[in-house]
Structure 1
Amino acid sequence: MARWSDCAVDIAQVSLRSMKARRWGLVGLLLLTWALRLPPLLDNRFHPDEALYGYWGLLIGRGLDPWLATAPVYKPPLLPYLIAGSQALFGNSEFSVRLPGLAAGVLTVALVAALARSLYHDRWAAAAAMTCAALSSFAILFSATAFTDPLMVTLGLAACVVAARGRPGWAGLLAGLACATKQTGLIWLPLAILIQILNPQVPPAIGHWTLDIGHWTLDIGRWILLIGNWTLVILLMFAWDAARTAQGAESFWRMGVSGYGGLRLIWPQELWTRLRGWAEIARYLFASPIVNGVLLAGLCALVWRAATRRLHKRESLIDLSLVLFSLVYLLLHWLLAFPIWDRYLLPLMPVLSILIARILSLAIRHSPLIIRHSLFAILLISLAPPAWNAAHSRYATGGDHGAYDGIDEVAAFLGRLPEGAVVYQHWLGWHYAYHLFDAPVYLAYWPTPAWLARDVLVFGAREPRYVTFPSWESSARVERALAGVSYKLDPVLTTTRRDGAPSFTVYHIQPLSDP
């Protein structure tokens, strides 16, 4: 009897040590997640969209336009208000503007593990999925930005996690908040509903309507709770928009659709070009030929396995649901005229991370421990080099990678100009709106060189006037137009990119007669 007691104590101690080791491993992976995302956040300057979101945050936080009624807003309200809160707490900086995205990116990694664990009850698969998300080059580069996409993905993924754990009310709220971050967050609602349907752990609540379909009992009350809470958030979002439009603003929904050029089916001649464009972007989701190859082959195997089984188990239906979600998402972005922008594929990253883990877990489900550890090591080795490259901004995805290097120097120079100085802008309006928010200068948009020349001719003798040209634009046409009214461009500041090439040149507009 004593031997059995000692054996039980030994087993309990081993299990406790194993649990502690797993927890410390997860903590270490989260710290690595944070560390990989910090370098691109600190190294790269704002993309124009990021600067615009920072400007919206300042309008809200300073109380100048808390409803964003004077700004041409084309996004839902959640992110601008979060950015305003971050700026109020930590001061106005690129870091504070990007902090919600960084926090969302780190949280996404933990949520991927939680969802994989809830769906498949497999610790190895959860750890593998978490590793894929932590080391995804796509996730690294976008978590270092202030785009709406990282937060939208985090909230949508959180909705799926709580749906898998039998909390439909929270699932509806979180799916609604995903849509209140970005319009395309709508995609998370059907996935959360599917996961809720396929969740057998949660018995129907007493008093709820139920619907029996074969081996499945659907709790209609939980559906109503999920969709009702989602609808509540959407109604609040449109109430905010109605308050804006009552003050003369344009609806963000209309602005967003018109910004895409209107959603339409693509023309037949666009099929191949768009497919090739999306495929080129998709390979950077993990940026590993080995992982990408395993994913493509494994998805086919998962579908075949689910389709040929006589009895469809819950796990097989979950496999099909995740594959179907990914396929429908890709088809919508291929066949509808969405712009081919890399950030639109970010919602696929967590789903594909879980599917990769599922594929590998099935492949080794009857293997000894040494094989499981070896495969995990191979996964780490395959993803580590792309993750390192992404952390050093060596992939052309995510935010800016050098084109806007020096914009902070330009803003600092222009911000020191005397009060009333005129700064003309054509390409850098969103950057100026953010960086020169508190500057005493007057920002003026010039649509054409002829317009600029006429304005300088009429008002040039009054305040000092400056114009900035990025390296990808020539100043020749403006110089000719100004020469026609006896003015010239005098370079006063040139900034460089990280590779040493020029990035911006600031010109002082002066009369030709000046020495």
Structure 2
Amino acid sequence: MKRRQAAFWLNVLLLWVGAGLRFHYLADAEPLHPDEALFATLGRRMVQQQDWLLNGATTDKPPLSYLLVGTSLAGVGQNEFAARLPSVFASLMGAVAFFALIRRLSKRTPTAHLGLLIYLLSPLEIAFAPTIFQDTLMLPCVLLAAAWATRQKWAWTGALLGLAWVMKPTALWVLPLVIGIGIFASPVWSSENAAPIPLSRIFNHAKHFIIGTLLTLVPVLAWDIARPQQSFVTLGSYNNNPGRLARADEIGSRAEAWLHLLADTFGGPIIGMMVFVIVVGWLIFTAQKRHPARWISWVIALFLVWYLGLYWLVAFSVRIRYLLPIMPFILLLMALAIGEWASRGRWRVRFSAIGIMLVMTYPALTARPLSRETQDFELQGIDELADTLNQDFADRIIYDYWLGWELGWYLGEDTDVWLVYFSTPEELAAHLQTETGARYLIAPNEELAQMWVWIMELKGIWVFIDRQIGGFIIYTVIPK
């Protein structure tokens, strides 16, 4: 009993540390990334405007993540903290699910604790946690599905995999891995003398899996069918399908780019190489020693090779977010290896924990949230710009090329500002030549607006600065 209590409070302590690493970014109130701004706007529209079908909006994502963000905005407040809060909680849920999975596979509580520590210090997971990207919401569902699969609870496995797909459809890629983990965690593979599984039980498991999956998929697919807009399934498939293999002249550069991203996943090339050596050593060890975890370890390894090969040889864009679904399973192999070594003495457990903290603490503390990716311009002060537009430019026409999704979020749901988008300065100049009266153009800075101003002046349109708010500039444009 005392050991269980000690294990419980150690988990609580580790989760508090992990929560601190994730929550402190929320206090910064960084402006929303363009994609985050779009997702937050759609969430606010669903919940607070009760536009449950998002009529008139095109989206390539399922609605559940929007619903969670909108609920948080309604309950906590209209700010960046509230918009990103569900993902931070999902990140901590993912850590708990990871602990449950590794505890099930290793059968050793110290190994599970070491795995939890590794997961909570993962730079990639920390980078995704304080964002509105759906990847973080998907991950705990995948890990819980894998944990239930090890228990042969296939209805729960199907339901959770369906829920992962509902959060983000790319969860479909990990379907074979979760099923493989469930199969090789069964007594047939984990015990040397176990009897084969009867065919009737296999059909029963498959039936439960399908029913569980449909329970979570059908409501969302019904929502998709009920909308007059294009299906998010169709649009998502179109947007994310490169439609070709990588060309011969791209293979080398793509391999290099993916290797760089893999290194960044663990905090740099040195740590990445350490992880690689540990994982390969573990696979060799399990094969030679006929370790009980050898089947699952090799299933995970083969899946990782297939997954990385797919994203390398098919011309998908090279993005670090595609590594997030496989990151926990790399960490799982690493934790199993360290746990096996640590199981040979109590001092080794402590030594392993200290080593993990020494190696991973700096990357964890310096992990940069994905919402802070470098852009062509700074967004600091965009909330002040939105307030100015709402107060002084109500019922005015504002032309915008750069700030659509972000500004749409900060203007709020009750704005009277008319935002009009043009894709080129030539199109805007041609439009203005048919209009009369003063209009306005907003730009993130004077440098980006320079070409637009020059072309409009060339077409005989007066352009002058109305006011400057931080780095943002509001131009008055008047057709002659």
Using the size of structure 1 for normalisation, the TM-score is 0.85
Contact 2:262 2:323 in 1 (8 A): yes
- Percent pairwise identity: 28
Q: 1:433 to 1:214 in 2, by over 3 A?
A: same
Contact 2:382 2:407 in 1 (8 A): no
Residue aligning to 1:11: none
Q: Deviations over 1:226-284 (max 9, x none)?
A: 1332144333332221111xx2x111122112223544322222111111111111112
Contact 2:125 2:324 in 1 (8 A): yes
Q: 1:370 to 1:307 in 2, by over 3 A?
A: closer
Q: Deviations over 1:398-455 (max 9, x none)?
A: 1225643332232222222332112212122111222223221001001211222233
Q: 1:231 to 1:362 in 2, by over 3 A?
A: same
Distance 1:36 1:152 in 2: 20
Amino acid in the other structure paired with 1:385: Y
Question: Per the alignment, in what secondary structure is the counterpart of residue 180 of structure 1?
Answer: helix
Q: 1:489 to 1:281 in 2, by over 3 A?
A: farther
- Alignment equivalent of 1:276, drawn from 243, 252, 256: 256
Q: 1:308 to 1:114 in 2, by over 3 A?
A: same
Distance 1:46 1:415 in 2: 19
Q: 1:345 to 1:99 in 2, by over 3 A?
A: same
- Alignment equivalent of 1:227, drawn from 201, 205, 210: 210
Contact 1:166 1:202 in 2 (8 A): no
Contact 1:143 1:150 in 2 (8 A): yes
Q: 1:201 to 1:460 in 2, by over 3 A?
A: farther
Question: Per the alignment, in what secondary structure is the counterpart of residue 443 of structure 2?
Answer: strand
Question: Per the alignment, in what secondary structure is the counterpart of residue 55 of structure 2?
Answer: coil
Distance 2:351 2:212 in 1: 45
1:50-129 equivalences under 5 Å are: 50-63=36-49, 65-129=51-115
Residue aligning to 2:220: 237
- Alignment equivalent of 1:267, drawn from 247, 255, 258: 247
Distance 1:493 1:24 in 2: 54
Residue aligning to 1:27: 12
> What is the Cα deviation at residue 332 of structure 1?
1.8
Q: Which has the higher helix share?
A: 2
- Alignment equivalent of 2:165, drawn from 179, 189, 208: 179
The answer on 1:190 being equivalent to 2:166 is no
Residue aligning to 2:305: 327
Q: 1:161 to 1:231 in 2, by over 3 A?
A: same
Q: 1:408 to 1:327 in 2, by over 3 A?
A: farther
Q: Deviations over 1:274-296 (max 9, x none)?
A: 11111111112220555423321
Distance 1:50 1:266 in 2: 29
Residue aligning to 1:297: 277
Amino acid in the other structure paired with 1:443: L
The answer on 1:385 being equivalent to 2:362 is yes
Amino acid in the other structure paired with 1:125: T
- Alignment equivalent of 1:506, drawn from 473, 476, 480: 473
Equivalent pairs counted in the alignment come to: 469
Question: Per the alignment, in what secondary structure is the counterpart of residue 475 of structure 1?
Answer: helix
Amino acid in the other structure paired with 1:476: Q
Unpaired runs of 5+ residues, structure 1, are 1-14, 204-212, 496-503
The answer on 1:479 being equivalent to 2:453 is yes
Amino acid in the other structure paired with 1:264: R
Amino acid in the other structure paired with 1:400: R
Q: 1:183 to 1:480 in 2, by over 3 A?
A: same
Residue aligning to 2:22: 37
Q: 1:284 to 1:470 in 2, by over 3 A?
A: farther
> What is the Cα deviation at residue 313 of structure 1?
5.0
Residue aligning to 1:169: 155
Amino acid in the other structure paired with 2:146: C
Distance 2:478 2:219 in 1: 55
**Bigger Cα displacement from structure 2, 297-306 vs 428-437:** 297-306
Q: 1:227 to 1:324 in 2, by over 3 A?
A: farther
Question: Per the alignment, in what secondary structure is the counterpart of residue 398 of structure 2?
Answer: strand
Q: 1:202 to 1:181 in 2, by over 3 A?
A: farther
Contact 1:491 1:505 in 2 (8 A): no
Residue aligning to 1:418: 393
The answer on 1:451 being equivalent to 2:451 is no
Using the size of structure 2 for normalisation, the TM-score is 0.90
CA RMSD after TM alignment: 2.6
- Alignment equivalent of 1:347, drawn from 321, 325, 330: 325
Amino acid in the other structure paired with 2:225: A
Q: 1:406 to 1:51 in 2, by over 3 A?
A: same
The answer on 1:251 being equivalent to 2:251 is no
Unpaired runs of 5+ residues, structure 2, are none
Q: 1:69 to 1:493 in 2, by over 3 A?
A: same
- Alignment equivalent of 1:404, drawn from 379, 397, 415: 379
- Greater C-alpha Rg: 1
Q: 1:338 to 1:489 in 2, by over 3 A?
A: farther
The answer on 1:375 being equivalent to 2:375 is no
